[in-house]
Amino acid sequence: MIILSYFEPETGAWQQISYEQLPAQLPADAKLWINLNDATAEEQLQVLRRFAIVPTLAEDFSRQRHPPKLESQTDFTLLIMRGYADADFSEYTGSAQVNLLYSKKVLISRVHCHNPQLLAQLTPQINGNSQITVADWIKQLILSVSASYLEKLISFEDEQSELEDAMLHRGNDEQMALIMRYRSVLRKINRNLAYQKDIFSDAMYEEQSPLLRHFSSTELRDFYEKFERLHSMTDLYYDQLSDLVEGYLSTTSHQINERMKVLTIVSTIFIPLTFIAGIYGMNFIYMPELQMPNGYFTVLIAMALGGVAGLIWFKIRGWW
């Protein structure tokens, strides 16, 4: 289903119209938003042909999953962005894909988002305002995409602090598994933010950037700084989680080494004693010491002295 919101310059009002009612030639002051969220593939193709969108842009716009991208033709610009649609960073089920084709008078949008609340934020707001422009819609969507990350990252800061304290006092494998999930999610959203940061970074220094048709250099710098800050935050959190993993592994390795040291000392003490016991446990008839009246006690004393001497030696060498 194609949903059209059309601003009629003569009446100065917004109205919902059908695709068949769309004028063949839009008036100079007209504004049009075409929502293709629920449109079929045939309806999408119909709209894209109506506005003479080149096949390469049409193909990228129609994809449900595509990395963030900026590309333009003579009249229309393609902007693809990705928002964060999950409740937190414990699980990543998929990004909110925002596909936009726009000119000065027309916005064609297709948003894939499983989060109803975020989907509402990624829907252009008209509110009967006759002064609103397509550039205002695009700006609103860009800010909504950046806000979808910022809210989660700010909340995650407190959660990560609690996790650090827990790992310091009573770290366990369950918390390690949670950290690994967090790292995986942060790595994925870091890629999305890097793409989007580069879009606005390039736009600031390209004189022919399509974004300059609708936004000032100050606005582009603001967009860039927002995504650059988000990208830096994900880098910081990822590095902190990596430090937690390395710290936990180092602590675990140290504990294992301490246990192995104790086992090694015990083994070193008892190996000579076992050797002596093995000798006198052999079933030979002619063994001189077997005829000694105090042989049993002599051997026990010798074994005890050997064990104590080994412990003293370890203590002197600083091995225990």
CA distance 257 to 251: 10
Which residue ranges make up each domain of the chain? 3-251, 259-317
Instruction: Please check the confidence at residue 319 and state whether its pLDDT lies above 70.
Output: no
Confidence of residue 320 (pLDDT cuts 50, 70, 90): low
Task: Say yes or no to pLDDT of 97 above 80.
Answer: yes
* pLDDT at 232 exceeding the cut of 90: yes
pLDDT attached to residue 304: 83
37 φ, ψ (degrees, to nearest 5): -60, -40
pLDDT higher than 90, residue 229:
yes
Q: Long-range contacts made by residues 210-214, C-beta under 8 angstroms, separation at least 24? A: 210/70, 210/71, 210/72, 210/77, 211/70, 211/77, 213/77, 213/104, 214/77, 214/102, 214/104, 214/134, 214/135, 214/138
Q: Are 53 and 76 in contact, with CB atoms under 8 Å apart?
A: yes
> What DSSP element (H or E) covers 53?
none
Residue 130 has what pLDDT?
66
Q: Confidence band (pLDDT; 50, 70, 90) for 222?
A: very high
Q: Which long-range contacts (CB under 8 A, 24 or more apart) does 17-25 make?
A: 19/43, 19/46, 19/47, 22/50
Class of domain 3-251: alpha beta
pLDDT, tens digit, 9 for 90 and up, residues 24-62: 787 878 888 888 888 888 888 888 888 888 888 889 888
- Asked if the model's pLDDT at residue 301 lies above 80, the reply is yes
The answer, yes or no, to whether residue 220 has pLDDT greater than 80, is yes
The 10s digit of each residue's pLDDT in 125-141 is: 776 666 788 888 889 99
Looking at residue 71, its pLDDT comes to 87
User: Which pLDDT does position 231 carry in this prediction?
Assistant: 93
The label of the residue with tokens 């990624």 reads 122
pLDDT of residue 190: 92
**Which CATH code fits 259-317?**
1.20.58.340
Q: What does pLDDT average to over the chain?
A: 83
Query: Cα separation of 72 and 57, whole Å?
Result: 8
